[in-house]
């Protein structure tokens, strides 16, 4: 998801900003200012859309990151960490200004974020120049990893991984041969739709396509077109509001083909828009690892419980990724790194079991673990089905 992608970027920047801070010897008690004076508190930034229209997918990772910091500080480490949130409102111009502020004024040593891909693209060079490491929890645009940035990382696989993985699942586990791919014409939806189309064709499935306007309400022409091709499966590339309306109108017209979508639709809004009865059985892929009511992984369960105690809500999309991004920095600091560059080196060598996945980075900053998860709507709730490569349909 492009926007989400941006989020990750924000995170990275925040992290990077934090590093810068340490580099400048910004410890509160070290008035000497020399490199030898070890700081006692390091600042790590978190950047993303915290108050705008898409803040719903940025606040969970922000909370996740904050939880990681609090658990770390509670252990009374030698060097404490303070998280500074930067609300970019998903505006790249604002994000760049905030990054400058994080580097020069707040002197952060690392940055978790920025959250979305657009702002990530703009903020990346700023952090790179200041040598501040960043880890995004949600920026999924493919290009971000191809910029040659040494200080940039993300903990989610990119859109180029997600689309084909979902397509493999559609022809594999779901055994569909005749698939309709609909997108919402957005940068995210079309890109993802095309990735799915390409992989489906490679796998020998028959693909028909259509596009819709996410702001419209009547999708009857799309539904009629889909209905006429009698598909086994339908994939929608777009956000949950449109996905809900489309799914409802499909089911009301008697189209029973399996309905697939991706991370942009992984929200309860899908069920609200479609109606619980119509949403039943909808399948949603996501590079994110969300804990659901039927969670079996102890690690994730514990995270979900801690998160709920702290924030009074269930951890939603990218909360585990936000936690893992921050944890990568905290582990680096724990290992003795106190400057931005030292933290970046340590993060590059990360190799630990996070909540969302095993955290390890490729040289270009991409996560080594490229799992895409499949979620299913059951009884009005979104439940985890499993990794797309191993999950089975019931």
Partner 1 sequence: MFDNLLGSFWPYTIDGLVLGAIYGLVALGYTMVYGVLRLINFAHSEIFMIGTMASAFVVMSMGLTHPLTGFALVGGLLLMILVGGFASAGSAMLLERIAYRPLRKRGASRLAALISAIGASLFLQELFALVIIPHAFNRPEQGRNQMGVARIMDKDVLFSIGGADVRVDQLLIFVAAIGMMVLLDQVVNRTKIGRGIRATSQDPQTAMLMGVDIDKIVRVTFLIGGLMAGVAGALFVLQFEVTKFSIGFLLGIKAFTAAVLGGIGNLRGALLGGLFLGLIENYGAAVFGSGWKDVIAFSVLVLVLMFRPTGILGESLQQARA
Residues that bind partner 1 (CB under 8 A): 53, 185, 209-213, 215-222, 224-225, 227-228, 241, 244-245, 248-249, 252-254, 269, 272-275, 277
Pick between residue 252 and residue 351 the one whose CB is nearest to partner 1: 252
Least separation in angstroms between residue 60's CB and partner 1 is 14
CB distance 322 to 65 below 8 Å? yes
Cβ 58 to partner 1 shortest distance, Å: 13
337, 345 Cβ separation under 8 angstroms: yes
In whole angstroms, what is the distance from residue 46 CA to residue 308 CA? 20
Q: Choose among 45, 1, 86, 68: nearest CA to 285.
A: 1
Smallest distance from partner 1 to CB 193, Å: 11
For partner 1, the closer CB: 183 or 232: 183
CB of 89 to partner 1, least distance (A): 14
What are the residues whose beta carbons fall under 8 Å from the beta carbon of 339, sequence distance 6 or more? 19, 22, 23, 109
By beta-carbon proximity to partner 1, the closer residue of 142 and 211 is 211
With respect to partner 1, which residue has the nearer C-beta, 222 or 339?
222
Residue number, 53 or 298, with CB nearest to partner 1 = 53
Least Cβ distance, residue 19 to partner 1 (angstroms): 33
CA atoms within 13 A on the CB side of 26: 26
- Whether the CB-CB separation of 289 and 123 falls below 8 Å is answered with no
Q: Are 284 and 260 in contact (CB under 8 A)?
A: yes
Q: How far is the CB of 51 from partner 1 (least distance, A)?
A: 10
* Nearer of residues 27 and 244 to partner 1, judged by Cβ: 244
**Closest CB to partner 1 among residues 80, 253:** 253
Least distance (Å) from partner 1 to the CB of residue 165?
26
């Amino acid at each position: 998801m492009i926007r989400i992608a941006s989020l990750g970027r924000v995170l990275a920047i925040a992290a990077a900003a934090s590093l810068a801070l340490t580099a400048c010897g910004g410890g509160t008690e070290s008035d000497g200012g020399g490199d030898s004076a070890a700081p006692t508190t390091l600042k790590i930034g978190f950047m993303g859309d915290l108050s705008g229209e898409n803040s719903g997918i940025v606040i969970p990772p922000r909370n996740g990151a904050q939880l990681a910091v609090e658990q770390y500080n509670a252990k009374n480490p030698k060097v404490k960490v303070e998280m500074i949130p930067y609300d970019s409102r998903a505006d790249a111009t604002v994000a760049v200004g905030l990054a400058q502020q994080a580097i020069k004024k707040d002197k952060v040593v690392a940055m978790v974020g920025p959250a979305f891909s657009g702002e990530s693209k703009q903020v990346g060079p700023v952090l790179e120049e200041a040598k501040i490491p960043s880890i995004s929890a949600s920026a999924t645009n493919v290009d971000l990893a191809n910029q040659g940035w040494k200080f940039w990382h993300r903990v989610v696989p990119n859109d180029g991984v997600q689309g084909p993985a979902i397509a493999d699942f559609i022809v594999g586990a779901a055994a569909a041969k005749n698939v309709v791919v609909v997108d919402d014409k957005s940068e995210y939806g079309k890109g993802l739709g095309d990735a799915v189309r390409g992989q489906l064709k490679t796998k020998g499935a028959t693909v028909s396509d259509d596009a819709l306007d996410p702001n419209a309400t009547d999708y009857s022409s799309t539904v009629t077109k889909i209905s006429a091709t009698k598909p086994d499966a339908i994939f929608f590339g777009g956000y949950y509001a449109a996905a809900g309306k489309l799914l409802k109108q499909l089911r009301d017209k008697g189209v029973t083909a399996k309905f697939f979508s991706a991370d942009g639709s992984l929200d309860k809004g899908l069920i609200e828009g479609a109606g619980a009865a119509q949403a039943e059985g909808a399948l949603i892929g996501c590079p994110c690892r969300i804990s659901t009511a039927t969670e079996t992984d102890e690690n994730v369960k514990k995270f979900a419980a801690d998160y709920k105690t702290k924030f009074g809500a269930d951890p939603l999309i990218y909360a585990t990724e936000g936690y893992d991004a921050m944890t990568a920095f905290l582990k680096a600091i724990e290992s003795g790194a106190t400057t931005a560059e030292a933290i970046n080196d340590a993060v590059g060598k990360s190799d630990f079991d996070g909540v969302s996945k095993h955290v390890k980075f490729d040289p270009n900053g991409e996560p080594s673990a490229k799992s895409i998860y499949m979620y299913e709507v059951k009884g009005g709730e979104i439940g985890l089905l499993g990794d797309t490569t191993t999950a089975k349909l019931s």
